[in-house]
Structure 1
Amino acid sequence: MKSRRSAEFAAIAVAAALLLGVTVSGASAQPAPTPSDPPPAAAAEPPPSGRDAAQRGIAGQTIDRVRQAAKTAGDVLTRVPCLAPKGGGKSMGSLPHVARKLIAGQPVVIVAFGSSSTQGYGSSSPAHNYPNRLAERLRRHYPGADISVINSGKGGEDAPEMMARLKATVLDAKPDLVIWQVGTNAILRNLDPTETGRLVEEGIAAIQAAGSDVVLVDPQYAPRVNERAESAGKMIAALGRLAELRRVAIFPRFQVMKEWHERQALPFEDFVIDDGLHMNDWGYACFAQLLADDIVRSVGQIKLGVTVPADVRAYRPM
């Protein structure tokens, strides 16, 4: 069993390095070695034992699976391009804790906190949920960095339930960044946006006190949310005011998805599954791409020595 696991692990590492262009950093920071060409047929090598042949067979199967997964992930955005929203807006501002860790070459921990659209309901596999796509894009941009994205999404929850598990599933992970998606289930349940705002503000204060950056993610633009347009408008406004008050970033998912539908003329079925609420693989991938690009841009401001005013946190992707 140990030999089989070792073969699978080795195959995955080699395949990931070849397919995704990610180098594996060691103590000497040398690039990962490339496999040599196979020996000629006449090479005098002893025939593989039965165990070696089985391990090679396992390794080959694992490489094929990794190749197929990478191809599938890459194909998601080819059918519809992921375009950044047009027009300007406020900058996300700085993400000082994340930037400081990246500059120092220290590991970065990100917690994606939320409900079913963080958990990944509607995606075809866990590889296609937004936290995993976000991790993939950030690691591609920072190939030498040790970046972990923890998926702490739980379907059906909103602020009351999330606050009950904030310490155990978020704070105890000691994150450098918390991406908090909240508000959709409150809209669907007709919960008071003022009370939701109060709970979220309490949570932000606890996250900031623990030394983490925060990005809020507001509700999605989807048919079932749009059926409660008045409640959705109040929730989005409340979260926007809260972001300005607490000086944290907010990713305006509602506005971004609305632009997909109205300005880019994408039908809902291109980014929302049949339940009229949750995103599909393309929706999660584009959301993750735009969010990752803004995180990279915000970190880059600090690396370049650009100081962004602390009160400039609510933003719209450029």
Structure 2
Amino acid sequence: MTLLAIAAIAAPALPTSAARAQTAEVTQHAALSAAAQSDSSKSDSAKPSAPQVNGASDVPPVDDANPSQQKGLTAKAIETVKQVAKSAGDIFSRVPCLPPKGGAKSMGSLPHVAGKLASGEPVVIVAFGSSSTSGYGATSPEFTYPNRLAAQLRRQYPGADITVVNRGKGGDDAPEMMKRLQEQVIDMKPDMVIWQVGTNAVLRNLDPAETAKLVEDGIARIQAAGADLVLVDPQYSPRVTERAESAGQMVRLLHKVADLRHIGIFPRFEVMREWHENQALPIDSFVIADGLHMNDWGYACFAQLLGDDIIKSVGQIKLGVNVPSRVRAYRPM
């Protein structure tokens, strides 16, 4: 009997349907944490080993003729499921995830993904980016932002067929991402693409203007494929802010490109700065010790705010309201 089968047996022990959905997310995406890499090659050596939630290498062979072994594995699986459900449910219990104090405006119309969610059609969302997308710094696959986003949307739309594909690769920025854009993003025929970009360009001293041009080219290709698109700018963290001039230019150019192409943008830099400056959260409450990557709470709050805006867009579609895409979410600039 495999651990996956045992987890399926144990599932009824979960307290809520939402917790079961989050646990399923863990088993489906356990490999992501092990694959997560640093945004910068310099931080690779500091990379912690990610837990193998359902990794075969951590599970001893099961002897079907040994009831005591089966019982022990079953109990362990049930306890793991309970712990996953608890951690997924109470990550905001100590520090709540609050929207920016200026209020949250709509990200604008996301007609493809919102229309499909509103009508109950299958939805494919591709999370495209570097290690912030793959989940470096998260202690479990469930806490990567794509998995948190998927769990939130599935709770909101329990009857919907929602797929969130993680296409994050540590160390990449626009030059590398453009090389895999067709195969790993466009060929997936996504309804929505969330493109996190720009951090490694800052860390590698790449020209922000050249990065913005590549991103604009990529946006045109994604739009031609018929997908909604949201950009995510660099994170507010010590390794980024120590290069203040380059980081500021990168953020401004990405917002300018989003305006020109009439797409949504999630201003992660400003949202994270508000956590620190206006909500008085210490940097180490949302950034790990490498001074660059987000921790479990940071990824979870990022996903929550992004998911809230997708849900608002679905509500607007149901009401027949089509908000212009140039209206941005959480935009203090």
Aligned-residue Cα RMSD (Å) equals 2.2
- Counterpart-to-counterpart distance in 1, 2:14 and 2:86: 12
Name the structure 2 match of 1:26: none
Alignment gaps of 5+ in structure 1:
24-48
Determine which of 98, 107, 113 is the counterpart of 2:113.
98
- Counterpart-to-counterpart distance in 2, 1:262 and 1:311: 27
How do 1:161-176 residues align onto structure 2 when only pairs under 5 Å count?
Answer: 161-176=176-191
| 165-174 or 214-223, which deviates more | 165-174
Q: Taking every aligned residue pair, what percent have the same amino acid on both sides?
A: 65
**TM-score w.r.t. structure 1 length?**
0.84
Q: How many angstroms does 1:107 deviate by?
A: 1.0
**TM-score w.r.t. structure 2 length?**
0.81
Q: How many angstroms does 1:66 deviate by?
A: 1.3
Q: How many angstroms does 1:168 deviate by?
A: 1.3
Q: How many angstroms does 1:224 deviate by?
A: 0.9
Q: How many angstroms does 1:108 deviate by?
A: 0.7
- Counterpart-to-counterpart distance in 1, 2:19 and 2:289: 35
Q: How many angstroms does 1:7 deviate by?
A: 3.4
For each residue in 1:208-237, what CA deviation from the matched residue of structure 2 results, as whole angstroms up to 9, or x when unmatched?
A: 111110000000001111101111111011
Name the structure 2 match of 1:8: 6
Kept after mapping to 2: 8 A contact 1:123/1:279: yes
| Structure 1 residues 226 and 175: CA distance shift in structure 2, 3 A | same
Name the structure 2 match of 1:121: 136
| 193-202 or 50-59, which deviates more | 50-59
State yes or no: 1:316 paired with 2:314.
no
Query: Which amino acid in structure 2 is aligned with residue 185 of structure 1?
Result: N
- Counterpart-to-counterpart distance in 1, 2:136 and 2:206: 22
Kept after mapping to 1: 8 A contact 2:7/2:78: no
Name the structure 1 match of 2:25: none
State yes or no: 1:148 paired with 2:146.
no
Name the structure 1 match of 2:45: none
| Structure 1 residues 132 and 244: CA distance shift in structure 2, 3 A | same
- Counterpart-to-counterpart distance in 1, 2:120 and 2:296: 32
| Structure 1 residues 101 and 155: CA distance shift in structure 2, 3 A | same
Name the structure 2 match of 1:255: 270
Q: How many angstroms does 1:77 deviate by?
A: 1.5
Name the structure 2 match of 1:80: 95
Name the structure 2 match of 1:62: 77
Q: How many angstroms does 1:89 deviate by?
A: 6.0
Q: How many angstroms does 1:262 deviate by?
A: 0.2
- Counterpart-to-counterpart distance in 1, 2:189 and 2:144: 22
For each residue in 1:258-288, what CA deviation from the matched residue of structure 2 results, as whole angstroms up to 9, or x when unmatched?
A: 0000000111010001111100111011111
Kept after mapping to 2: 8 A contact 1:115/1:156: yes
For each residue in 1:70-103, what CA deviation from the matched residue of structure 2 results, as whole angstroms up to 9, or x when unmatched?
A: 1122232112111111114652111100122112
State yes or no: 1:269 paired with 2:269.
no
Kept after mapping to 1: 8 A contact 2:11/2:81: no
SS in 1 for 2:235: coil
Query: Which amino acid in structure 2 is aligned with residue 172 of structure 1?
Result: D
Kept after mapping to 2: 8 A contact 1:19/1:70: no
- Counterpart-to-counterpart distance in 1, 2:259 and 2:164: 25
| Structure 1 residues 226 and 6: CA distance shift in structure 2, 3 A | closer
| 191-200 or 248-257, which deviates more | 191-200
- Counterpart-to-counterpart distance in 1, 2:138 and 2:237: 16
Name the structure 2 match of 1:223: 238
Query: Which amino acid in structure 1 is aligned with residue 207 of structure 2?
Result: D
Name the structure 2 match of 1:32: none
State yes or no: 1:240 paired with 2:255.
yes
Aligned residues: 290
- Counterpart-to-counterpart distance in 2, 1:12 and 1:96: 39
Alignment gaps of 5+ in structure 2:
22-63
How do 1:140-219 residues align onto structure 2 when only pairs under 5 Å count?
Answer: 140-219=155-234
Give the number of the structure whose alpha-carbon radius of gyration is greater. 1
Q: How many angstroms does 1:8 deviate by?
A: 2.6
For each residue in 1:177-204, what CA deviation from the matched residue of structure 2 results, as whole angstroms up to 9, or x when unmatched?
A: 1000000111111111111111101111
Query: Which amino acid in structure 1 is aligned with residue 330 of structure 2?
Result: R
Kept after mapping to 2: 8 A contact 1:221/1:253: yes
SS in 2 for 1:109: strand
Kept after mapping to 2: 8 A contact 1:96/1:302: yes
- Counterpart-to-counterpart distance in 1, 2:191 and 2:279: 34
SS in 1 for 2:270: helix
SS in 2 for 1:275: coil
